[in-house]
Amino acid sequence: MKRMLLSILLIATLSLSLFAQGGVEQATYPTKPITITIPVSAGGGTDLLVRSMTGVLKDILGQTVNVVNKPGAGAAIGYAAGASDKADGYSVTSMLAELITTPQVAQVNFSYKSFIPVANINSECATITVRADAPYNTLEEMIAYAKANPGSISFGNSGVGGIWHFIAAAFASSTGIEVTHVPFEGGGTAVTALAGGHVDAVPVTPQEVEVQVKAGRAKVLAVLAPERVASLPNVPTAKELGYDDLSFSIFRGFGVPLNTPDHVVKTLSDAFEKALADPAVTKFMEERHFTKDFKTGAELGELMAREEKIYAEMAKQLGLKK
């Protein structure tokens, strides 16, 4: 009987100890640096925005937040790595439209369902931006030039199956022109190629071309949005010019591997929401004309589910379906 009581007491003590350790772990996360994987190249809008938040996130979480770019294959390399990371909250992945578009055109081992969505922080529109020395100054002139010279206009994109590939293809389809698609490892490198005269156009966000436009190396002919954007008040929307179907919203958020504990997901979500409200981050976003758009993980998940249906249909219509 004594042995039995001793065994019961030992089991109870061990259980309480493990429970206490779990409680401490829950209360103290994070206890080491966190890494955010960005599946596109450095220098693009996503990279700039995420890096602008790392200092504030460190203050909020009490741990260093590092950024690692893993571009390539339409963001497939970064997402494959992110989905297989340890589900402990120390590996976070930037959630972009490529998480939805790339699986539509390539055989990959991930989808948006491979991650738990944490939060969304920003949404932007696309543009049609061309070299400053292009022989056209309006969207109508560009379309007329493309029709007179089929395939002569090259569009830099973020890789086959990337969001900018989809949007360039949708633009060509809607306007009835032929373009040449040139893949890069992200919007930032595509814009650099545009500025260097290596491609004729890019369909990226206003923030990604702002520096080149101000430097006189690029010009924006249209925004692919429901209405004009504040940073480009004199640039018409494609809708104004008769292309009602050319309107896109590009989300930017974060996710973690499946099975990441709920309390970790909440801690990260709260941290991103606080960082988004921080004066330093607010100033950066205002100066670079980034739009704040916080969504909870649940809301981001619902958005991605809707977007998946849209891009699956687009892939089919544009002949991009795998």
pTM (2 d.p.): 0.81
Mean of the pLDDT values across residues 251-279? 98
Looking at residue 10, its pLDDT comes to 42
> What CATH class is the domain 32-123+250-317?
alpha beta
Mean of the pLDDT values across residues 249-257? 95
- Residue 30, preceding bond cis, omega within 30 degrees? yes
By mean pLDDT, which of 22-26, 150-154, 209-213 is the weakest?
22-26
More confident position, 239 or 185: 239
By mean pLDDT, which of 13-17, 65-69, 114-118 is the weakest?
13-17
Structure tokens at 19: 């429970």
Residues of the chain with CATH 3.40.190.150: 32-123+250-317
Among 242, 169, 161, 227, smallest CA distance to 201 is for 169
Residue 111 has pLDDT above 70, yes or no: yes
Residues of the chain with CATH 3.40.190.10: 126-224
For residue range 287-321, list pLDDT tens digits in order. 988 999 999 999 999 999 999 998 998 888 888 87
Per 3-state DSSP, the chain is made up of helix, strand and coil in percentages (nearest 5) of 45, 20, 35
Looking at residue 17, its pLDDT comes to 44
Measure the CA angle with vertex 242, ends 240 and 246; round to 5°.
Answer: 85
Architecture of domain 126-224: 3-Layer(aba) Sandwich (3.40)
For residue range 157-185, list pLDDT tens digits in order. 988 888 899 999 999 999 999 999 999 88
Looking at residue 27, its pLDDT comes to 62
Q: Determine contact, residues 81/231, Cβ cutoff 8 Å.
A: no
Measure the CA angle with vertex 130, ends 124 and 133; round to 5°.
Answer: 150
Angstrom distance (rounded) from CA 175 to CA 207: 24
Residue 322 has pLDDT above 70, yes or no: no
